[in-house]
Amino acid sequence: MSRKYRQHGYMDEGNKERKAPPPPKPSGPKEFRPRAMPGFREATRCTDCGALISLAIGPASQCPKCQADLHTCKLCAHFDTSVRNECLQVVPERVPRKNIRNQCSLFEAKRTIERETGSAEKSKTIAVPKNPLDARQAFDALFKK
């Protein structure tokens, strides 16, 4: 006799297979496994290139990567575009260009809390090629023809 429907379970009363019962769960305490949680750090980054910079910013400081000025309104903790003069502190006069070095005495570097996603040891082990031919040879070695 042919079946009308081919779904599993339809008219399978004679062909039922019994599954083995699952193994019993352990009743003792669970094993503690500490997880490697990433750490956090306080950092200041350049507003132009995003390079990590030290918190000691003087009036003539520049970014070590892109040579941009660091003693600017854009890098100040009091900078806010939604308030008058774009500064949370009371300033005597508005600074018109926010990305150029100024002599504001209220300057305080903006610090952010960011997650450490890699270890310092891993970043030191990456070899940076000194010329383009080394990079090309490494690429060719990776994808051999």
Q: Is the pTM of this model over 0.85?
A: no
What are the domain boundaries of the chain? 39-115
* pLDDT tens, position by position, 29-55: 777 777 777 788 888 888 888 888 876
CA–CA gap between residue 65 and residue 63 (Å, rounded): 5
Reported as type and span, the H/E element at residue 121 is helix 120-125
* pLDDT tens, position by position, 49-108: 888 887 688 888 888 888 888 889 888 999 998 988 888 988 888 888 888 888 888 888
Q: In the prediction, which pLDDT does 65 show?
A: 86
Reported as type and span, the H/E element at residue 136 is helix 132-142
Give me the half-sphere count of Cα atoms (radius 13 Å) on the Cβ side of residue 141: 6
Q: Encode burial over 19-36: b for 16+ CB neighbours within 10 A, e otherwise.
A: eeeeeeeeeeeeeeeeee
